[in-house]
């Protein structure tokens, strides 16, 4: 989502993996967004994205720690403040809109809980649709900055748009707290207002690669990337992490917006790999998975957070079955999933939990007396506390001090 400009078969993609599914909520096949999407195969309505295991950079399982007490956006109800606004920027329309809507909904859930408990401190959220497009984001960013009522930003959502508008928000001193943008280079720009609420792809890539090689025992993997900042960066990290298992003879590049992947499919089919790793978004990942299956490719389909959304399952249909989808995002706890479903008539999607946590952190800052942009940046810089997804404490670079990766599977 993180995350960059978005875009995300013969026989079944079946792998017998004896891993126990973690006791967490699964992701429904209905994201409640992008109504134009349609399933390409019968039976997909029964499929959902299930959490398998949390891993470190060696691909080794790390048990989820539930010992902490997550911050509550409702606070104690005693906060007082003048009406204040935070913003959300990301794709709310377009082919990957589900990813942005997941974030907006997660944040809205936190803000509504806060406002219901704090009648003397009302916080609103303004939505800014970038369509996940860096060029569109450059048109939206000045409007966000010029609105003096906005003291903090949840976003941008994708890595490409974040790269494009990061300097604008940094110059304005506006907190940019992303729930999804995972390109590692974003925290190397010297922006003192930018914080990432999940692991970056320099963590995700090696972690997933090690899991594929050491746990699933894949010996030959074809890495396919789209042309987004997210896809390019993730593919580089995955390829390096796979080492000799990454087969350069079937590595391929596709473009955002592509729907015909026949050239890449034929190369992959001829190489007979154990797995195909797709670095990109579900808008392309879903038809790519379908075309691999239709051509008779039996390799496991593997992708990351850009494809880890119910829309991937909905659009890929039966071709999504048994696909592995990694994510720096954590599974939705049961109560959160119940509350989210009740409010939005949809299951939480990728980044919904992170968005809730990050909005909660901003709300805690406001409740503590923060009234301006500089104060909110300083509050986040010094924050140290548990959320639903993980513990949040940032290094001076804006990266989390500790972050792990989840492996999911479509079942």
Structure tokens at 70: 């997550």
Q: What percent of the chain has pLDDT over 90?
A: 86
pLDDT score for 17 = 30
Residue predicted with more confidence, 368 or 65: 368
pLDDT score for 104 = 98
pLDDT at 5 over 60: no
Calpha distance 24→328 (Å, rounded): 15
List the domain boundaries for the chain: 44-65+202-331, 84-198+332-405
Calpha distance 4→201 (Å, rounded): 11
Which CATH architecture fits 84-198+332-405? 3-Layer(aba) Sandwich (3.40)
Right CATH for 44-65+202-331 from 3.40.1080.10, 2.30.40.10, 3.40.50.2300, 3.40.50.300: 3.40.50.2300
Q: State mean pLDDT over 62-68.
A: 85
Handedness of CA 80, 83, 89, 91 (dihedral sign): positive
| Confidence at 287, pLDDT banded by 50, 70, 90 | very high
Q: State mean pLDDT over 155-169.
A: 97
Least confident of 36-45, 108-117, 360-369: 36-45
DSSP 3-state assignment of 38? Answer: coil
Would you give the distance in Å from CA 220 to the centre of its chain?
Answer: 26
pLDDT score for 68 = 86
Q: State mean pLDDT over 252-257.
A: 96
pLDDT score for 45 = 57
What CA–CA distances, in Å, run from 209 to 22, 216, 220, 315, 404?
A: 21, 10, 11, 26, 14
pLDDT at 26 over 60: no
pLDDT at 265 over 60: yes
pLDDT score for 67 = 81
Check if 44-65+202-331 and 84-198+332-405 are the same fold. yes
382 burial class (0-12, 13-18, 19+ CB within 10 angstroms)? exposed
pLDDT score for 21 = 29
Whether 372 and 356 have beta carbons less than 8 Å apart is answered as no
| Confidence at 64, pLDDT banded by 50, 70, 90 | confident
């Amino acid at each position: 989502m993180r995350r960059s400009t978005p875009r995300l078969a013969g026989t079944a993609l079946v792998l017998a993996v004896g891993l126990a599914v973690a006791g967490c909520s699964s992701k429904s096949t209905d994201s409640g967004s992008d109504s134009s999407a349609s399933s390409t195969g019968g039976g997909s309505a029964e499929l959902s994205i299930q959490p398998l295991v949390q891993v470190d950079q060696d691909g080794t399982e790390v048990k989820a720690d539930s010992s902490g007490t997550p911050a509550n956006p409702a606070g104690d109800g005693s906060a007082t403040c003048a009406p204040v606004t935070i913003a959300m920027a990301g794709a709310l329309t377009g082919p990957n809109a589900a990813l942005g809507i997941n974030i907006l909904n997660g944040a809205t859930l936190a803000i509504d809980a806060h406002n219901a408990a704090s009648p003397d401190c009302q916080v609103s959220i303004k939505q800014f649709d970038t369509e996940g497009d860096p060029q569109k984001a450059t048109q939206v960013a000045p409007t966000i900055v010029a609105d003096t009522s906005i003291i903090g930003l949840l976003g941008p959502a994708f890595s490409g748009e974040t790269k494009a508008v990061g300097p604008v928000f940094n110059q304005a001193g506006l907190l940019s707290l992303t729930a999804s943008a995972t390109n590692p280079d974003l925290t190397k720009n010297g922006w003192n207002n930018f914080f990432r609420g999940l692991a970056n792809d320099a963590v995700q890539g090696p972690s997933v690669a090690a899991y594929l090689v050491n746990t699933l025992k894949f010996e030959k993997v074809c890495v396919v990337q789209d042309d987004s900042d997210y896809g390019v960066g993730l593919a580089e990290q995955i390829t390096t992490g796979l080492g000799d298992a990454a087969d350069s003879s079937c590595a391929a590049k596709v473009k955002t917006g592509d729907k015909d992947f026949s050239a890449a499919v034929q190369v992959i089919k001829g190489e007979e790999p154990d797995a195909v790793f797709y670095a990109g978004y579900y808008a392309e990942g879903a038809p790519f998975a379908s075309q691999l299956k239709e051509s008779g490719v039996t390799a496991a389909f593997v992708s990351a957070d850009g494809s880890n959304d119910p829309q991937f399952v909905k659009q890929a249909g039966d071709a999504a079955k048994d696909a592995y989808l990694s994510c720096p995002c954590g599974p939705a706890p049961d109560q959160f999933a119940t509350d989210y479903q009740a409010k939005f008539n949809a299951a939480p999607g990728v980044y919904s939990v992170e968005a809730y946590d990050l909005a909660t952190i901003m709300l805690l800052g406001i409740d503590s007396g923060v009234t301006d942009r500089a104060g909110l940046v300083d509050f986040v810089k010094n924050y140290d506390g548990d959320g639903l997804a993980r513990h949040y404490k940032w290094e001076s670079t804006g990266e989390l001090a500790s972050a792990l990766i989840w492996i999911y599977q479509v079942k």
